[in-house]
Amino acid sequence: MDNPLLDDQPHPAFSRIRPEHVEPAVETLIAEGRRLIERLTAATEAATWDAFVQPIEEEDDRLARAWSPVSHLNAVMSSDALRAAYNACLPKLSEYGTEVGHNELLYRGYKQVYDTDALDPAQRKMLSNALRDMHLAGVDLPPAAKARFKEINTELSRLGSTFEEHLLDATNGWHKQLTDEADLAGLPESARELARHFATERDLEGWVLTLDVPSYLPVMKYAHCTALRRELYEAYTTRASDQGPHAGRWDNTQIIEDLLALRHEQATLLGFDNFAQVSLEPKMARSTDEVMGFLEDLAHRCAPQARRELEALQTFAVGNGGPDSLEAWDIPYWSERLRQSQHAISDEELKPYFSLDRVLDGMFQVAERLFGVFITSAAGETDTWHPDVRFYRIADDNGELIAQFYLDPFSRQRKRGGAWMDVCTNRLISACRQQLPTAYLVCNFTPPVNGQPTLLTHDDVQTLFHEFGHGLHHMLTRVDYPAVAGINGVPWDAVELPSQFLENWCWEREALDLFAYHWETDEPLPESLYQRMRSARNFQSAMQTVRQLEFALFDFRLHLEYDPAQGSRLQQILDEVRGQLSPIQPPAFNRFAHGFSHIFAGGYAAGYYSYKWAELLAADAFSLFEERGVFDAASGRAFREHILERGGSAEPMELYVAFRGREPSIDTLLRQTGIIGLMPATH
Ligand SMILES: [Zn+2]
439 phi/psi in degrees, rounded to 5: -125, 160
Nearest alpha-carbon partner for 32 in 3, 4, 55? 55
Nearest alpha-carbon partner for 648 in 497, 496, 488, 500? 488
CA 473 to ligand 1 centroid distance, Å: 11
What is the C-alpha to C-alpha distance for residues 490 and 468, in angstroms, rounded to an integer? 17
pLDDT tens string 258-269: 999 999 999 999
Nearest alpha-carbon partner for 666 in 614, 620, 599, 611? 620
CA 485 to ligand 1 centroid distance, Å: 17
On average, the pLDDT of the chain sits at 94
CA 499 to ligand 1 centroid distance, Å: 6
DSSP per residue, 139-161: TTS-HHHHHHHHHHHHHHHHHHH
Collect all residues with Cβ–Cβ distance below 8 Å to 631 and sequence separation of at least 6: 369, 370, 510, 511, 625
DSSP per residue, 305-358: HHHHHHHHHHHHHHHTT--SS--TTTHHHHHHHHHHHHH---HHHHGGG-BHHH
CA 467 to ligand 1 centroid distance, Å: 6
For residue 483, give the 3-state DSSP assignment: helix
What is the predicted pLDDT for the residue at 44? 87
Determine the average pLDDT of the residues in 74-79. Answer: 93
Q: Is the pLDDT of residue 488 over 60?
A: yes
What is the predicted pLDDT for the residue at 110? 97
What is the predicted pLDDT for the residue at 343? 79
What is the C-alpha to C-alpha distance for residues 627 and 661, in angstroms, rounded to an integer? 14
pTM: 0.92
451 pLDDT tier (thresholds 50, 70, 90): confident
What is the C-alpha to C-alpha distance for residues 29 and 64, in angstroms, rounded to an integer? 10
CA 318 to ligand 1 centroid distance, Å: 39
What is the predicted pLDDT for the residue at 535? 86
pLDDT tens string 615-656: 999 999 999 999 999 999 999 999 999 999 999 999 999 999
Q: Is the pLDDT of residue 567 over 80?
A: yes
Residue ranges of the alpha helices (H) in 102-142? 104-116, 121-136
Counting beta carbons within 10 angstroms of the beta carbon of residue 534, is it exposed (0 to 12), middle (13 to 18) or buried (19 or more)?
A: middle
What is the C-alpha to C-alpha distance for residues 156 and 162, in angstroms, rounded to an integer? 10
Annotated catalytic residue within 57, 309, 467, 645: 467
What is the predicted pLDDT for the residue at 683? 37
CA 271 to ligand 1 centroid distance, Å: 33
What is the predicted pLDDT for the residue at 681? 44
Vertex 469, ends 58 and 345: CA angle to 5°? 155
Cα-based distances in Å from 88 to 27, 59, 62, 83, 415: 11, 21, 19, 8, 20
CA 151 to ligand 1 centroid distance, Å: 34
Collect all residues with Cβ–Cβ distance below 8 Å to 283 and sequence separation of at least 6: 491, 492, 493, 494, 607, 610
Cα-based distances in Å from 24 to 2, 3, 424: 11, 8, 20
Domains present along the chain, CATH in parentheses = 4-136 (1.20.1050.40), 175-237 (no CATH), 350-489+497-517 (1.10.1370.40)
CA 299 to ligand 1 centroid distance, Å: 24
DSSP per residue, 202-218: TT-SSEEEESSHHHHHH
CA 470 to ligand 1 centroid distance, Å: 7
Q: Other CB atoms closer than 10 Å to residue 181's CB: what's the count? A: 11
CA 103 to ligand 1 centroid distance, Å: 32
CA 621 to ligand 1 centroid distance, Å: 16
Collect all residues with Cβ–Cβ distance below 8 Å to 187 and sequence separation of at least 6: 195, 218, 219, 222, 223
Vertex 610, ends 619 and 499: CA angle to 5°? 50
What is the predicted pLDDT for the residue at 69? 97
Q: Other CB atoms closer than 10 Å to residue 224's CB: what's the count? A: 14
CA 441 to ligand 1 centroid distance, Å: 12
Task: Give residue 612's identity as a one-letter amino acid code.
Answer: K
What is the predicted pLDDT for the residue at 679? 52
Nearest alpha-carbon partner for 594 in 265, 319, 252, 352? 252
CA 488 to ligand 1 centroid distance, Å: 14
What is the predicted pLDDT for the residue at 678? 52
Cα-based distances in Å from 552 to 28, 252, 291, 568: 44, 20, 10, 16
pLDDT tens string 454-479: 999 999 999 999 999 999 999 999 99
β-bridge mates for residue 410, sequence order: 445
604 pLDDT tier (thresholds 50, 70, 90): very high
Q: Is the pLDDT of residue 48 over 80?
A: yes
Collect all residues with Cβ–Cβ distance below 8 Å to 94 and sequence separation of at least 6: none
CA 193 to ligand 1 centroid distance, Å: 31
CA 421 to ligand 1 centroid distance, Å: 8
629 phi/psi in degrees, rounded to 5: 115, 140
DSSP per residue, 406-439: EEEEE--TT--SS-EEEEEE--EEETTEEE--EE
CA 496 to ligand 1 centroid distance, Å: 5
225 pLDDT tier (thresholds 50, 70, 90): very high
Residue 23 annotated as catalytic = no
For residue 563, give the 3-state DSSP assignment: strand
Q: Is the pLDDT of residue 677 over 70?
A: no
Q: Are 282 and 491 spatial neighbours (Cβ–Cβ below 8 Å)?
A: yes
CA atoms within 13 A on the CB side of 257: 11
pLDDT tens string 300-312: 999 999 999 999 9
Cα-based distances in Å from 347 to 284, 352, 520: 37, 9, 17
What is the C-alpha to C-alpha distance for residues 615 and 501, in angstroms, rounded to an integer? 8
CA 495 to ligand 1 centroid distance, Å: 8
Per-residue three-class SS string for 349-392: HHHHHCEHHHHHHHHHHHHHHHHCCEEEECCCCCCCCCCCCEEE
Nearest alpha-carbon partner for 509 in 357, 663, 353? 353
Q: How far apart are the first and last CA of the chain?
A: 68
What is the C-alpha to C-alpha distance for residues 407 and 572, in angstroms, rounded to an integer? 49
Determine the average pLDDT of the residues in 116-126. Answer: 96
DSSP annotation of 567 reads B
Nearest alpha-carbon partner for 648 in 24, 227, 293, 125? 125
Q: Are 389 and 408 spatial neighbours (Cβ–Cβ below 8 Å)?
A: yes
Collect all residues with Cβ–Cβ distance below 8 Å to 321 and sequence separation of at least 6: none
CA 656 to ligand 1 centroid distance, Å: 18
Q: Are 40 and 53 spatial neighbours (Cβ–Cβ below 8 Å)?
A: no
Counting beta carbons within 10 angstroms of the beta carbon of residue 605, is it exposed (0 to 12), middle (13 to 18) or buried (19 or more)?
A: buried
